[in-house]
Chain A
Amino acid sequence: MNLFLDALFLQAGYNAALVAIGAGLLGFAAGASGTFPFLRKRALISDAVAHATLPGVGLAFVIMVALGGDGRSLVGLLAGSAATAWIGLLVIEWIARRTRLAEDAAIGAVLGVFFGVGIVLLTVIQSMSAGRQAGLESFLLGSTAGMLLQDAVVIAIGGSLAVFTTWLMRRPMTLVAFDSDYAASMGYDVRRVDLLMMALVMSVTVVGLKLVGLILIVAMLIIPAVAARFWTDRSSRMIWIAGGIGGASGYLGAVFSASAPAMPTGPIIVLVAAAIFIFSLLFAPERGVLAAIVRHRRFQVRVHRLQGLLALAAEHPIREAYTLRLLAREGLARPDGVPTNAGRAQAAKIARDERRWDVAREVYQDAGLTGRYDGLTPIEDVFTSDEIADFDHRLGPPVAVESG
């Protein structure tokens, strides 16, 4: 526990602090720039982009060694990975546009093939200069052990550029994500905007490669955005919420992994993000599962109360046990189904409102008003008191009924 608190407040050593800050920044950038691909329903392209970085890492290493360099220069490797990821993106776009294969098949094909090429290159590297290739495999699942200040700086610069561009371009990207035809008619180049979205995904992937690895960076691009969607309906706000969720999972994940042995950083970050996602899925207001259940129950109560009161008004027996319980609980009827005075009054009002609705539908044959009749909306919510007085007038005065 102490270890955890130390790590949480960046007291667990230089490397742990560096990793925590780097992971937090990366998470923020990934969450923010993953927002629009998710809204565009193309979240999984980032999976292909991430896998397509692998051959670039290998190629960059081979080229740098062939030119007599060290081969492990971070900037070179990242440039290489960006290059092949970009090629992968263009290939997906080309296949989906020019052939009859659907985009999902194109994504899968690029993902598998580029990864395969990457693996071939990694084995080539293993055989060409033993020993010096050490570390390239860490791009698969990420490694934080040897994280340097330089890596954190790359993440900070690349990440803030991605977040800044996302924020700057939020309007065209929102338009394209929700209605690309409308965006095109407004004069936006949909294809360019799409490519920009993916370029942002690509840049985050590339800077995050070394920390969480190319397989799990996908999770950081998708999960925070999915979780953020539960908390807001505004895309401009969603960027920051997704960023916050991503940042929190990155930071907390790094802290967890620093405070216990055999806790690889990348997977822990992803699992923290997944926990936040599950929490959002269950407990978010409006869109969460719990909110939906509550909403459903409330609806059920309204329907049953209305049906019960209508039955009381018509002096029909109530056979539905739930309705009876509900009315009894609200003091509208006794458990044996005999209405209380309050129940009688409510029933009379409901019955009168039903009659008023009948009149209203004859008077206003306008679906805009009477179309709102669903049997549950109180008539006072739709018509003014003057109009209701008019309905009452048409209904005629109250008629005495023989008391039973």
Chain B
Amino acid sequence: MGAEFVQFSLTPVLIGVLSAIACALPGNFLILRRQALIGDAISHVVLPGIVVAFLLTGMISAVPMLLGAAGAALVAVVLIEAVKRLGNIEPGAAMGAIFTSMFAAGVLILEQTDTSSVHLDVEHALMGNLESLVWLRAEGWHSLLDPSMLATLPGELSRIAAVCAFVVVATLMFWRWLKIATFDEGFAQALGIPSTALGLGLVVVAAIAAVAAFDAVGSIIVIAMFICPPAAARLMTNRLGHQVVWSAVFATLSAVLGYVLAGYGPFWFGFEGAVSAAGMIATVSGIILAGACVFGPHRSRVGVAQQEAR
């Protein structure tokens, strides 16, 4: 736990934890609103959003990428709504048709343009690249107190920290509205809560979390972070507040354990090298969810347990 840890593990772990929390918070509401698969759609359209943002600005930097992904998420949501209404198509199929098409367009544009000079390749976008986000200049724990050293931290860390803070603040600020609109949309409208705008806002926040986490874990595994910790938390408690806290705990646990297992696990089994940290984080979150499905105190539907006992 010395200088090497600070150099190679501190920042990836932090980035993993912050991404997991940033995704898990909106995930809670998506799951309760039966919109879990919006997370799926968002994570697929992050790729075209980023590619288009890159083409328009010609640079890989945080703000255009965030805007591009959020824009793509909005476009996707609007298109899905349009297909649903105009074509009278059920939401799942509308989503499936739209996000796969947008993803295909993203891959095509990526192949058509010369982006080989930058680190925007499809596999990276899908799988993430947590291990490479190291703090090479660090010399030990004391570097944390040295402003000139702090400036050399990977940019992804400050970005995900800002996004995570934004997600937390947004969740707290709109807590009451979100809670009411999630459980009783009609009541929310009667109270004058703009529930449609709130729903869209939730999607945009989820998109921002997804693109910030995209650096760390890639666009597909983000889905696991949106869904697994909140889903596991849902099986632990009946109170929304507790559920959100549980989901943050599970998210942290998945990120830390996942990173450690990916980095050191293979050595314990006598292998050389490490495995994908992003994949391992998703795996751990899945194991946690499996545990919650089997042992969670509130795992069954109300009434199902009695029915089966009969």
Instruction: Identify the A interface with B (CB < 8 A).
Output: 38, 41-44, 46-47, 51, 94-95, 98-102, 104-105, 107-109, 111-124, 127-128, 137, 140-141, 215-216, 218-219, 222-223, 225-226, 229-230, 262-264, 266-268, 270-271, 273-274, 277, 281, 287, 289, 292
Contacts and interface: CB of A to CB of B under 8 A. Distances in A.
A270 B283 contact: no
Interface string B221-259: 111111110010011000000000000000000000000
B123 interface: yes
Contacts of B127: 119, 122
A222 B104 CA distance: 14
Nearest to A219: B100
Given A42-B92, A99-B235, A267 B104 contact: yes
Contact of A109 (B89, B92, B289): B289
Main SS at interface, chain B: helix
A216 B96 CA distance: 10
A118 B92 CA distance: 25
Interface of B: 31, 34-37, 39-40, 44, 83, 86-90, 92-97, 100-101, 103-105, 107-108, 111-112, 122-123, 126-127, 218, 220-228, 231, 234-235, 262, 266, 271-276, 278-283, 285-286, 289, 293, 296, 298-302, 304
- Top-3 shortest CB links A-B: A116-B282, A112-B224, A113-B286
A229 B89 contact: yes
Contacts of B228: 109, 112-113
22 contacts: A43-B96, A98-B300, A100-B235, A100-B298, A102-B31, A102-B34, A105-B36, A108-B36, A112-B222, A112-B225, A112-B282, A116-B286, A123-B276, A124-B271, A215-B100, A216-B104, A262-B112, A263-B112, A268-B104, A270-B100, A271-B105, A289-B87
A74 to B, nearest CB: 21
B107 A141 contact: yes
Contact of A264 (B87, B95, B111): B111
Nearest to B226: A108
B280 A219 contact: no
Contacts of A218: 96, 100
A137 to B, nearest CB: 6
B107 A287 contact: no
B123 A137 contact: yes
A42 B234 CA distance: 23
A270 B282 contact: no
Contacts of A137: 123
Given A100-B299, A113-B286, A223-B97, A271 B104 contact: yes
B36 A102 contact: yes
Contacts of A230: 87
A115 B87 contact: no
A47 B105 CA distance: 18
B227 A226 contact: no
Contact of B37 (A41, A44, A95, A226): A44
A105 B224 contact: no
A31 to B, nearest CB: 13
Given A262-B111, A264-B111, A115 B93 contact: no
B167 to A, nearest CB: 19
Most buried by A among B100, B279, B280: B100
A44 B231 CA distance: 18
B229 to A, nearest CB: 10
A289 B220 contact: no
Given A113-B289, A115-B220, A219 B97 contact: yes
Contacts of A128: 271
A119 B222 CA distance: 13
A266 B110 CA distance: 13
Contacts of A112: 220-228, 282, 285-286
B234 A101 contact: yes
B96 A116 contact: no
Contacts of A38: 90, 93
A57 to B, nearest CB: 14
Contact of A101 (B223, B231, B280): B231
Contacts of B126: 140, 215
A47 B302 CA distance: 29
A266 B221 CA distance: 21
A219 B97 CA distance: 6
A59 B116 CA distance: 31
Contacts of A101: 31, 231, 234-235, 293
Contact of B224 (A99, A113, A219, A292): A113
A118 B286 CA distance: 13
A118 B300 contact: no
A47 B300 contact: no
A44 B262 CA distance: 30
B301 A100 contact: yes
Contact of B299 (A99, A109, A262): A99
Contact of A108 (B122, B227, B266): B227
A232 to B, nearest CB: 14
Contacts of B89: 226, 229
A222 B285 CA distance: 28
A115 B221 contact: yes
Contacts of B300: 98-100
Contacts of B223: 108, 111-112, 115
Given A112-B285, A124-B266, A267-B104, 11 more contacts: A44-B40, A44-B95, A98-B300, A100-B301, A104-B35, A109-B224, A124-B275, A127-B272, A140-B126, A219-B100, A267-B105
Contacts of A51: 220
A118 B221 CA distance: 11
Contact of B104 (A47, A100, A266): A266
Nearest to A48: B40
Contacts of B37: 44, 104, 107-108
B83 A281 contact: yes
